[in-house]
């Protein structure tokens, strides 16, 4: 054995005296810094050429785009390859937190089944690789042939990118684009408009409240920003300072962590809010001004305690105790979201729950509810283009449009996520998909345009207004894009140019910078008339170019606590009476079960594992046990112990859920925490492809939903309240057994979990 080989036959690394002291000094610095605290010198801007030594770690700031929360993150890179994601401690929204979906963005970036080149469906009927020029020409030709029959669908959160898609639709002569978003976002804005007079997303100051009542909002399960609300919940409950009560039909992760959980009947959340208001009004603690504001919205007498307890299925003493505790609290707060807004009476339930904040004096005060505001960069990039519409309009547009219709889908999968969309999709003439993967929509598209993932693109995001302060967050790319993938904003601009309606910017980054420059100029000209940024945010900049450079280098613009405000009642709802059409959930009849059939109420829910399904193609998330059921690698149905005993069902059995015209088969988990008469199924499974780790796994619960059931007042699809029949089929075959953590119901070697993110290959 030579002197340069180890006992295992591997080359031995030798270093000189000078190199030894270099390594020793570097190790000392690493120990002093610790695992998470890093000096700013180690955080390098990707705009500058890297000076790091080969193999050295460099942390780069970025923004997580897995949802609309806008969490700021820092990414550890080695030799320009992303290795690890952490929450940015100074993050505006998340303050250092990041959820499992955010951590898994590395597996999205290096996924072995990514779409990395443009594709077009050929004469054989298969998708074939083509150049970007050919793909854009095919897409633009279809759009120019029928601009009025072109429908654009954008899955980008509200902000500059959505504004650019609105601008594209306007310049090519298409109708306003469809904004692909969950139904409760649309319902939430309408409920706020009816209650407060301003169509905004309410911002809840949970951290400074001392008693929080959450009606249907599973904020620890991924609703809005799990990272933000997890931190706020920790502050609320620190040293037992505050209390959290969760009112929700399903035993979610939020309900499991609450101080008290009230499992109301699905669809009765609005009735519960009205009954609770009656107890507060009779407590003698409500001021005359608060009483007048509430009774202007709901002039009818609220239901009594007995009726509320019977309708909601909750013991009367628990409701009475809740009302007494709310009345005694110094800074109570009522939140609403999730399942409370997903039913046909979602707007009524949301308005009734938000109106409780009027009774409690929680609007616009510390620990209360504020108006969610932004800087308006979406409208600045959109120009005079009309606002985007909700997903409910998508199927209506395609129905009857015929072969001339064109569907442009960016970062969305309506074929998988929209109930009853199959027939309308089949009737579409040309489908153009901007996607990084072959999801259900891209798999059947005529043209597929590959787009960059979060860490590969320039980002300009107006985050979810969970803090009540406006912000525009900006981040440069962290790593180089894979293959020929492009920024979706750049693709939108290229489509406009190819269609003969070029916009005045060469790329999305230039469009954002031009908007920033215009804001600076308008503010300096006349701040009040321009309605632009506060002077404090542009102080010190000599000119627009310097302001843009300073803003991008600083990571964007962030508002201050002084910019938070209460919702402003608009002129349309001012006056002596209540806003026209304000529904009262107490006057709505309870949903009736189908006659002669033992049915269950279906509760579709987003698991903390994979959200709405976008994480279903990542083995990290598939291998992550669901926090409550501990299921991995597939879908499941949650059934109450009481119901399972009656039907002879055991954990692991295959059951069939039958809806109006469709049925699905999946394994069952029997849990004592499930409300009897309900069955919960996670969304986001059952993809036709979406990569090797999602293909053929789970079921798509959306097929059980009824496309004709809409939320009254907004037309959004009603996801909760669907009735299904549950029946046991058989014990599962070996290949069908659910993976339950620690129970050994399936052998681990059958599951592909090894993955080296640095090269996208199998370990």
Q: Is the pLDDT of residue 207 over 80?
A: yes
Q: Is the pLDDT of residue 45 over 60?
A: no
Confidence of residue 618 (pLDDT cuts 50, 70, 90): very high
Residues found in the chain: 763
If one compares 641 and 531, the residue with the highest pLDDT of the two is 641
Q: Give CA separation, 564 vs 80, 133, 207, 468, 683, in Å.
A: 39, 47, 15, 5, 35
Q: Is 436 within the bounds of a domain? A: no
- Rounded to an integer, the average pLDDT of 50-58 is 78
Q: Is 499 within the bounds of a domain? A: no
- What is d(CA 229, CA 233) in angstroms, rounded to the nearest whole number? 6
Instruction: Single out the residue in 371, 393, 417 at which a domain terminates.
Output: 371
pLDDT of residue 161: 96
Instruction: Single out the residue in 337, 371, 405 at which a domain terminates.
Output: 371
Q: Is 81 within the bounds of a domain? A: no
Contact at 8 Å (CB) between 249 and 339? yes
Confidence of residue 533 (pLDDT cuts 50, 70, 90): confident
The overall average pLDDT reported for the chain is: 85
- Rounded to an integer, the average pLDDT of 328-340 is 95
Contact at 8 Å (CB) between 746 and 381? no
For 378-396, the pLDDT digits (tens) are 999 999 999 999 888 887 8
User: Residue 456's CB: how many other CB atoms inside 10 A?
Assistant: 21
pLDDT of residue 594: 61
Q: Is 614 within the bounds of a domain? A: yes
- Rounded to an integer, the average pLDDT of 88-107 is 93
- Is the Cα dihedral 230, 233, 235, 240 positive or negative? negative
Q: Is 387 within the bounds of a domain? A: no
270: which residues sit within 8 A by CB, 6+ positions away?
340, 345, 348, 349, 350, 351, 352, 353, 585, 586, 588
- Rounded to an integer, the average pLDDT of 125-143 is 95
For the entire predicted model, the pTM comes to 0.86
Q: Is 574 within the bounds of a domain? A: no
Instruction: Single out the residue in 330, 356, 371 at which a domain terminates.
Output: 371
Of 504, 471, 510, 503, residue with least CA distance to 487? 510
- What is d(CA 389, CA 181) in angstroms, rounded to the nearest whole number? 10
Q: Cα 475 from chain centroid?
A: 20
Q: Is the pLDDT of residue 639 over 80?
A: yes
CATH code, domain with 619: 2.40.40.20
Q: Is the pLDDT of residue 301 over 60?
A: yes
648: which residues sit within 8 A by CB, 6+ positions away?
728
Q: Give CA separation, 187 vs 190, 197, 348, 420, 638, in Å.
A: 5, 14, 9, 20, 27
pLDDT of residue 383: 93
- What is d(CA 711, CA 717) in angstroms, rounded to the nearest whole number? 6
Q: Is the pLDDT of residue 36 over 70?
A: no
Confidence of residue 540 (pLDDT cuts 50, 70, 90): confident
Strand order in the sheet with 556-558: 459-461, 471-475, 556-558
CATH code, domain with 215: 3.40.228.10
Confidence of residue 735 (pLDDT cuts 50, 70, 90): low
Contact at 8 Å (CB) between 176 and 385? yes
Parent domain of 735: 600-750
- Rounded to an integer, the average pLDDT of 287-296 is 92
385 Ramachandran zone, left/alpha/beta (phi>0; psi -120 to 50): beta
pLDDT of residue 420: 85
Q: Map tokens 């598209």 to a residue.
A: 445
For 702-733, the pLDDT digits (tens) are 999 988 888 988 888 888 889 999 999 877 66
User: Residue 571's CB: how many other CB atoms inside 10 A?
Assistant: 7
Q: Which helix (H) or strand (E) holds 637?
A: strand 637-640
> How many structural domains are present in the chain?
2
Confidence of residue 286 (pLDDT cuts 50, 70, 90): very high
Confidence of residue 9 (pLDDT cuts 50, 70, 90): very low
Q: Is 705 within the bounds of a domain? A: yes
Q: Is the pLDDT of residue 229 over 90?
A: yes
Q: Is 645 within the bounds of a domain? A: yes
């Amino acid at each position: 054995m030579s002197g340069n080989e180890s006992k295992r036959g591997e080359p031995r690394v030798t270093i000189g005296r000078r190199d030894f002291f270099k390594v020793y000094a570097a190790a000392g610095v690493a120990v002093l810094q610790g695992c998470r605290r890093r000096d700013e010198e180690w955080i390098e801007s990707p705009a500058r050429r890297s000076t790091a030594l080969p193999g050295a770690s460099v942390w780069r700031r970025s923004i997580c785009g897995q949802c609309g929360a806008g969490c700021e993150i820092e990414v550890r890179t080695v030799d320009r390859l992303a290795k690890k994601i952490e929450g940015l401690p100074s993050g505006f929204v998340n303050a250092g937190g990041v959820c499992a979906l955010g951590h898994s963005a590395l597996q999205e970036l290096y996924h072995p089944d990514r779409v990395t080149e443009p594709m077009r469906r050929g004469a054989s009927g298969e998708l074939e690789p083509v150049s970007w020029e050919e793909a854009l020409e095919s897409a633009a030709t279809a759009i120019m042939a029928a601009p009025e029959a072109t429908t654009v669908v954008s899955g980008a959160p509200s902000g500059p990118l959505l504004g650019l898609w609105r601008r594209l639709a306007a310049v090519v002569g298409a109708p306003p684009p469809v904004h692909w978003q969950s139904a409760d976002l649309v319902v939430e804005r309408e409920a706020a408009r009816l209650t407060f007079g301003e169509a905004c997303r309410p911002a809840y100051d949970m951290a400074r409240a001392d008693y929080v009542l959450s009606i249907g909002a599973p904020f620890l399960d991924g609703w809005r920003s799990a990272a933000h609300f997890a931190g706020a919940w920790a502050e609320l409950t620190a040293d037992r300072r505050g209390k959290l009560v969760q009112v929700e039909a399903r035993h979610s992760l939020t309900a499991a962590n609450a101080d008290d959980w009230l499992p109301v009947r699905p669809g009765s959340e609005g009735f519960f809010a009205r009954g609770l208001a009656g107890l507060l009004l009779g407590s003698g603690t409500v001021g005359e001004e608060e009483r007048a504001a509430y009774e202007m919205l709901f002039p009818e007498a609220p239901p009594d305690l007995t009726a509320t307890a019977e309708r909601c299925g909750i013991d009367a003493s628990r409701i009475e105790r809740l009302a007494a505790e709310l009345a005694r609290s110094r800074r109570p707060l009522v939140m609403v979201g999730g399942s409370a807004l997903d039913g046909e009476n979602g707007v009524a339930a949301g308005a009734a729950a938000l109106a409780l904040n009027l009774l409690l004096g929680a609007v616009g005060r510390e620990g209360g509810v504020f108006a969610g505001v932004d800087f308006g960069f979406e409208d600045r990039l959109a120009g005079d283009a009309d606002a985007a519409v909700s997903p409910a309009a998508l199927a209506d547009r395609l129905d009857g449009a015929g072969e001339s219709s064109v569907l442009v889908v960016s970062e969305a999968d309506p074929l998988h996520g929209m109930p009853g969309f199959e027939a309308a999709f089949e009737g579409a003439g040309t489908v153009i998909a901007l996607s990084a993967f072959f999801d259900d929509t891209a798999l059947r598209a005529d043209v597929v345009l590959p787009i960059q993932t979060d860490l590969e693109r320039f980002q300009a995001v107006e985050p979810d207004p969970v803090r009540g302060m406006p912000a525009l967050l900006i981040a440069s790319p962290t790593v180089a894009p894979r293959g020929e993938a492009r920024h979706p904003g750049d693709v939108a601009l290229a489509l406009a140019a190819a269609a003969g309606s070029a916009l005045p910017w060469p790329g999305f980054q230039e469009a954002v910078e031009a908007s920033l420059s215009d804001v600076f100029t308008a503010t300096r000209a006349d701040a009040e008339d321009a309605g632009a940024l506060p002077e404090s945010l542009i102080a010190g900049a000599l000119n627009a170019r310097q302001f843009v450079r300073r803003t991008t280098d600083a990571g964007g613009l962030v508002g201050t606590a002084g910019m938070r405000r209460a919702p402003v009642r608009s002129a349309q709802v001012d006056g002596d009476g209540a806003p026209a059409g304000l529904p009262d959930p107490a006057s709505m009849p309870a949903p009736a079960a189908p006659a002669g059939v033992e049915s269950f109420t279906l509760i579709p829910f987003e698991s903390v594992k994979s959200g709405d399904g976008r994480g279903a193609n990542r083995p990290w998330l598939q291998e992550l046990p669901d926090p409550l059921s501990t299921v991995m690698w597939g879908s499941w149905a949650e059934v109450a112990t009481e119901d399972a005993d009656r039907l002879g069902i055991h954990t692991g059995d295959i059951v069939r859920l039958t809806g109006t015209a469709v049925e699905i088969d999946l394994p069952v988990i029997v849990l004592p925490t499930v409300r009897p008469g309900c069955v919960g199924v996670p969304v986001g499974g059952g993809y036709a492809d979406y990569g090797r780790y999602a293909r053929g796994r789970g079921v798509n619960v959306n097929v059980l939903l009824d496309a004709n059931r809409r939320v009254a007042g907004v037309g959004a699809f009603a996801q909760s309240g669907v009735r299904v029949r549950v029946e046991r089929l058989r014990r599962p075959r070996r290949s069908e057994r659910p993976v339950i953590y620690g129970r050994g119901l399936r052998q681990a070697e059958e599951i592909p979990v090894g993955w080296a993110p640095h090269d996208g290959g199998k370990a």
